[in-house]
A and B are shown apart, each in its own frame.
Chain A
Amino acid sequence: MKTKSNNYTNKRSRKVLVVVTIAVITVLISFSLILIYIYGLNGSLFGWKSSQNTTDYSSTNYGPATTEQKQAGVKTKSSTTSDTPPTLTKITGSDKKNTEVTISAINQNSSTLQIRVLISAVEDTGVCAITLTSTRQSAVTATANTQALASASTCKGFDIPLSKLAAGSWHILIEYSSPVLTGSTSQDMVIK
C-alpha cells in the first residue's frame, strides 16, 4: 500500500533527479562550449585568443618533444632505414633505368620564356634537351647540363628568348639522359 510518506519521498527524489540532471547538462554544455571556443574556433571570438595561438615569432619551445613529434620521428627513422629500397624500372633495350622528369615552371615575361625542370634523381652528370615545336615555324632546340639538388636534380636552363618563338601553340619536349638514367616529359603551351 502506498503511503503519503512514500509519495513524498518519490516526489522528492524525482525533483532531486531533475535538478541534478539539469545541473549536469548545464555544466557539460558550458564546459563543452568553452572547449569548442578554445580549440575548435581557435579562440577567435570576442578578440580573445587561446594561449596556443598566440605564439610569438621569436619564442622557442624548450619543453620535451610531444608524443606525436616522437612518433613522427620514429616514422621518419623507419623510412630512412628501409632495408628494401625501391628499384628503378630498367628501360627495355637499354642499360639505363627510367627516372621521372617534370616541368616545374613555365613562365613568360616580356622577353623570355622560362622553363624549369625537375629530375627525380640526384645527379649532375646528365644532359637535358628541350625541343619546342609548332606548326608555325621550325623547331627550337637547346641543351643544358644538370645540377644536383638535395633530393632531386634540375636542368641548368632554360630561358628561351621570345624573339625565337612565334605567338601561338607550342609543344615542349624535355628529354633527360645521364650515363645511368633517362627520362622525358612533354607539355603544350601557348606563347602570347
Chain B
Amino acid sequence: MNVIAKIIRKKGMMTVAALGITYTLILGLPTLSHASTVVGFNPGHIIDDGVMTDSGSMSVIQIQNFLNAKVPSCDTNGTLTSEFGGGTRAQWAATRGYYPPFTCLKDYAENGLTSAQIIKNASQQYQINPQVLIVLLQKEQGLVTDTWPTSNQYRSAAGYGCPDSTPGVCNSSYYGFTNQIANAAKLFHSVITSSPSWYSPYVLGNNYIQWSPNSSCGGSTVNIQNLATVSLYDYTPYQPNQSSLNAGYGSGDSCSSYGNRNFYHYFTDWFGNTLIKVLTASEQNSITNNNHYGTSYCSFLKPSDVPVNSYCKSPMTGDFNGDGYQDIAVLSIFPDGKSFNLWLFPGGPSGIGDPVLQRHFDAADGWDISMNKFVAIDVNRDGITDLVSFARGIYDGITMVEIDGNGDGLKQQPKITTDYSIYRPYSGGWYWKLVDLVQGTGDFNGDGYQDIAVLSIFPDGKSFNLWLFPGGPSGIGDPVLQRHFDAADGWDISMNKFVAIDVNRDGITDLVSFARGIYDGITMVEIDGNGDGLKQQPKITVNDAIYKAQPTGWYWECIDVIRQTGDFNNDGYDDIAVLSIFPDKKTFNLWVFPGSATGLGNPILQRTFDVNQFWDASNNKFVALDINKDKTSDLFSFARSAYNGITFVEIDGGSTGLKQQPEIIVNDNIYKSQPTGWYWDNIR
C-alpha cells in the first residue's frame, strides 16, 4: 500500500476518531448540563401562592396512582444489598434499630387510612396543594422513591421538628406520619393566610437567608415576593447556593443546602411549573370574547376600537344608598384598561342626580376591570343593594368580592367573602373565564333573600350548568347546582340570552331565555323558580315563528335584552324590555314583553329609534329602574355623544309602557374628565 495513502487513511481515521470524540463531548456536555442544573429557581419567588394552595390538584386516587408509579416494586423485607454497606438492607437497618417490614409509601397506612388519604385530608383541611406535601415527603425523607423506608422515616416523614443543624435528631412531640403532614400543612397555611397566631422569621421584601445551617458560609439578601415562598423558608430557612443549583439533584460544595432546591426540582419534574402561566394579551382577549355578557350586539355591532368589556356590560341598578330610590352604579375605566372608579347616580324624587364617586380601584393594588364580573344584589336583605364581583382568582379560579351598600352608598372597603380555593378549577370546573352571570338577580328559591344565578360553561363551549348562589342571613352561600344543559340535547350557551324576572308575580324569580331558534328566530324558554330553586324542567313558552319579521329586527342575533326587568306599564307585573336592531345596525325598536298572571305576553312595540334622528343602537347603554319610586320602571340610556362624551337619556314608564318621548336630561360635558374614565367607551 502506498505510504501516502496509508498516512491519509490513518489521518482520515484519526480525523474521524477525533471527530467522534468531539461529537461525544458535544453530545455529552449539553446532556449532562441539562440533566444536572436546576433551571428557573428564583429564591424570591419559588412557588406561586395559587399553586401552593391548589388543594384540589389531585384526588386520593390520583395521589395513589402517582405514588404507585414512582415505586413499581418494593424491598419490603430488605433482602437486597444495602446502598450504605453492612450487608443486606435488613442487616444495615438492624444495626440502627430498624427492622422489616419496610413498607413503601404507596402501601403505608396509619390509623386505617392510606398515605394517599392522609395526604389528601391534610391538603383539604389546610388548603394546601397535595403535590406540595408529596414533594415535602420526598425532599425531607426520600419517601416517595424509597423502596425500603424504615420506621424512623415515617416517624419524621415531613422533617417537622427536625433542625437542620442536627440532622437525624428530631423533636418527638411531632412524631407520626399523620402528625407530620398535618403540622407541615398547618405551617404553610398559617403563613399563607397571615394567621395572627403565627410568627414568621421572614417577611415580604428583603430578608437575609443563609446558604446552609452553617452560618460561616454566609448568605444573601433575598427579596421574597409572595407568602408561599415565605412559608417554604419558614419550613427550610436556607437557600441553595450556585454550586447546589449546578448540581441538580446532586451534591454541591460544603456550603450547599438542598431543601428548597430539591423542593423546586422535584415539583417541576413531577408536577410542572411552580408558577402560574401568565396569559398573553391575545389569550386574555380570546377569553374575554368567549364570555357571554348577555348582549348579542357585542359580537356584531361592537366597534373594533372599543374594548369588549367596556362595551358589553350595561350599568347596574338598585337602591345602593338605602334612601328608598333606585340608583345606577357605573364603572368608569381608566386609560390603563385596568383601574376603574365606581360611581353612583343616585335616584331621587326629581330623578337621577349627578354621579358621586364611591371608590377608586387601582391597578397598582391589583385591580383589573377586565377580571371582574359585577352583579348588583341585596346580599343581606337589609333593603340596601350591594355589589358582588366574581373576580378572577389564581389559576383562573373565582374570588368573590363584596362591596356592601349602606347609607353612604358603595364606599365601604371591598371584602373577599369567599376564598377562591372553594371553586378551584381543577377540582370542580369553576373556571372564571367560563362563568356567565345571569342578567339580574332575584329570589329564585322564595326564601326572601336575593340569589345569584350563574351559568358555568363546559369546555365544549355549548353545554352548561345552571347554579344558584343562594342569599341568606349571613350572605351569599356556596353554589348549588340546579340543572345541567347538555349540548347533546341541543343546548348551546352561546345561543341563549338569559334574564331574571318574576314572570308570574308569585314572589319567586324565574329565568327566561331568549333562545336562538331555527333561521335565527327566537324561542322563549322559561325556567320557573320555586321553593327548590331553578331545578324545574325548562319549558318553551313562545315559538320563534311569531316574531321573525324583518325589517323590524326580529332576528335573534339582532335583539338586545335589557339587563334589568321591571314593571314598565304599571300593571303590577314585571316586564322585559327588548331592543330589536335593524339591518342598518343603528335604527332599533323598543319592545316590552308584558308580564301578566299567565306569564309573559307577546311583545308590544313601544317606539322606533331611527338613524335619521341620529339614533344608533351601538351608541346606547340601557338600564331599567324605577327612578322616582312611582312603582313604574323607567328606561335610561347612557348615550354616546360627540367626542365620546355621555348624554343621559330618560324614557319614563307609565300605564302605556315606554312609549313616551325620550328626554335628554344630562349633558355630556358634566362628566367628561380623563383620567377618571368618563368617556362613553370607558363606562359600563
Chain A residues engaging chain B, CB cutoff 8 angstroms: 6, 10, 13-14, 17-18, 20-21, 24-25, 28, 31-32, 35-36, 38-40, 42, 52, 55-66, 68-83, 85-86, 88, 99-100, 102-105, 107, 114, 116-118, 120-122, 147-152, 154-157
B415 at the A interface (CB under 8 A): no
From B83, B145, B208, contact of A105 by CB (8 A) = B208
Interface residues as binary, B247-273 with A (CB distance below 8 Å gives 1, 0 otherwise): 011110000001000100010111111
> Apart from A60-B271, A80-B152, what 17 extra A-B contacts exist at CB < 8 Å?
A17-B12, A56-B273, A60-B58, A61-B269, A62-B65, A76-B141, A76-B142, A77-B153, A79-B167, A80-B153, A86-B165, A114-B203, A121-B165, A150-B158, A150-B234, A150-B236, A154-B200
B8 at the A interface (CB under 8 A): yes
Report the bound CA distance from A10 to B29 in whole Å.
39
For window 273-325 of chain B, which residues contact chain A by CB distance below 8 Å?
273, 275-277
State whether B168 touches A79 (Cβ < 8 A). Answer: yes
A17 to B, closest residue via Cβ: B12
B323–chain A nearest beta-carbon distance, Å: 39
From A17, A60, A148, residue with most partner B Cβ within 10 Å: A60
A124–chain B nearest beta-carbon distance, Å: 10
B164 to A, closest residue via Cβ: A151
State whether A65 touches B144 (Cβ < 8 A). Answer: yes
State whether B184 touches A150 (Cβ < 8 A). Answer: yes
B72 to A, closest residue via Cβ: A64
B279–chain A nearest beta-carbon distance, Å: 12
A56 surroundings in chain B (CB, below 8 A): 272-273, 277
For window 157-214 of chain B, which residues contact chain A by CB distance below 8 Å?
158-169, 171, 183-184, 187, 198-203, 205-210, 213
Report the bound CA distance from A181 to B450 in whole Å.
60
B16 at the A interface (CB under 8 A): yes
A114 surroundings in chain B (CB, below 8 A): 203
Known: A32-B23, A71-B249, A77-B146. A105 touches B168 (CB 8 A): no
For this complex, 8 residue pairs linking A to B, each with C-beta atoms less than 8 Å apart, are A6-B2, A20-B16, A36-B30, A71-B250, A80-B153, A80-B168, A83-B168, A85-B166
B208 surroundings in chain A (CB, below 8 A): 102-105
B224–chain A nearest beta-carbon distance, Å: 9
Report the bound CA distance from A167 to B491 in whole Å.
70
A43–chain B nearest beta-carbon distance, Å: 10
B430–chain A nearest beta-carbon distance, Å: 15
Report the bound CA distance from A150 to B168 in whole Å.
14
A14 surroundings in chain B (CB, below 8 A): 5, 8
B96 to A, closest residue via Cβ: A83
A74 surroundings in chain B (CB, below 8 A): 83, 142, 146
Report the bound CA distance from A178 to B291 in whole Å.
60
Chain B residues engaging chain A, CB cutoff 8 angstroms: 1-2, 5, 8-9, 12, 15-16, 19-20, 22-23, 26-27, 29-31, 33-35, 39, 51, 57-58, 62, 65-66, 69-72, 83-84, 96, 98, 131, 138-146, 149-150, 152-153, 156, 158-169, 171, 183-184, 187, 198-203, 205-210, 213, 215, 234-237, 248-251, 258, 262, 266, 268-273, 275-277, 426
From B152, B237, B251, B266, contact of A151 by CB (8 A) = B237
A9–chain B nearest beta-carbon distance, Å: 9
A17–chain B nearest beta-carbon distance, Å: 5
Known: A57-B273, A69-B269. A107 touches B163 (CB 8 A): no
State whether A82 touches B168 (Cβ < 8 A). Answer: yes
State whether B203 touches A80 (Cβ < 8 A). Answer: no
B214 to A, closest residue via Cβ: A100
From A35, A58, A72, A103, contact of B249 by CB (8 A) = A72
A78 surroundings in chain B (CB, below 8 A): 83-84
Report the bound CA distance from A42 to B168 in whole Å.
38
Known: A39-B33, A102-B210. A76 touches B168 (CB 8 A): no
B35 surroundings in chain A (CB, below 8 A): 68
A55 surroundings in chain B (CB, below 8 A): 268, 272-273
State whether B269 touches A10 (Cβ < 8 A). Answer: no
A62 surroundings in chain B (CB, below 8 A): 65-66, 69
A66 surroundings in chain B (CB, below 8 A): 269
State whether B26 touches A32 (Cβ < 8 A). Answer: yes
Known: A61-B269, A65-B71. A152 touches B140 (CB 8 A): no
B19 surroundings in chain A (CB, below 8 A): 24-25, 28
A109–chain B nearest beta-carbon distance, Å: 9
Report the bound CA distance from A117 to B158 in whole Å.
23
A85 surroundings in chain B (CB, below 8 A): 166-169
Known: A40-B30, A155-B199. A82 touches B167 (CB 8 A): yes
Known: A61-B269, A63-B69, A69-B145. A39 touches B34 (CB 8 A): yes
Report the bound CA distance from A107 to B224 in whole Å.
13
A140–chain B nearest beta-carbon distance, Å: 20
A103 to B, closest residue via Cβ: B208
State whether A147 touches B235 (Cβ < 8 A). Answer: no
Report the bound CA distance from A57 to B274 in whole Å.
7
B31 to A, closest residue via Cβ: A39
Chain A to chain B: the 10 pairs with minimum beta-carbon distance, closest first: A73-B142, A72-B249, A40-B30, A39-B30, A154-B201, A76-B142, A73-B145, A82-B168, A57-B273, A32-B26
State whether A65 touches B272 (Cβ < 8 A). Answer: no
State whether B26 touches A36 (Cβ < 8 A). Answer: yes
State whether A107 touches B206 (Cβ < 8 A). Answer: yes
State whether B159 touches A150 (Cβ < 8 A). Answer: yes
State whether B27 touches A32 (Cβ < 8 A). Answer: yes
Report the bound CA distance from A52 to B269 in whole Å.
10
A68 surroundings in chain B (CB, below 8 A): 35, 248-250
B479–chain A nearest beta-carbon distance, Å: 22
State whether B26 touches A76 (Cβ < 8 A). Answer: no
A168–chain B nearest beta-carbon distance, Å: 21
State whether B201 touches A81 (Cβ < 8 A). Answer: no
Known: A104-B201, A118-B237, A150-B160. A57 touches B70 (CB 8 A): no
B393–chain A nearest beta-carbon distance, Å: 15
State whether B70 touches A64 (Cβ < 8 A). Answer: yes
Report the bound CA distance from A93 to B248 in whole Å.
45
B238–chain A nearest beta-carbon distance, Å: 9
State whether A147 touches B249 (Cβ < 8 A). Answer: no
Known: A24-B19, A69-B145. A122 touches B163 (CB 8 A): yes
Report the bound CA distance from A6 to B2 in whole Å.
9
B197–chain A nearest beta-carbon distance, Å: 9
B237 surroundings in chain A (CB, below 8 A): 104, 118, 149, 151-152
Report the bound CA distance from A58 to B271 in whole Å.
7
B216–chain A nearest beta-carbon distance, Å: 10
Known: A35-B27, A78-B84. A61 touches B270 (CB 8 A): yes
A47–chain B nearest beta-carbon distance, Å: 13
Report the bound CA distance from A83 to B201 in whole Å.
30
A99 surroundings in chain B (CB, below 8 A): 165
B183 surroundings in chain A (CB, below 8 A): 150
A185–chain B nearest beta-carbon distance, Å: 9
State whether B15 touches A21 (Cβ < 8 A). Answer: yes
State whether B271 touches A28 (Cβ < 8 A). Answer: no
B147 to A, closest residue via Cβ: A70
Known: A28-B20, A61-B271. A150 touches B161 (CB 8 A): yes
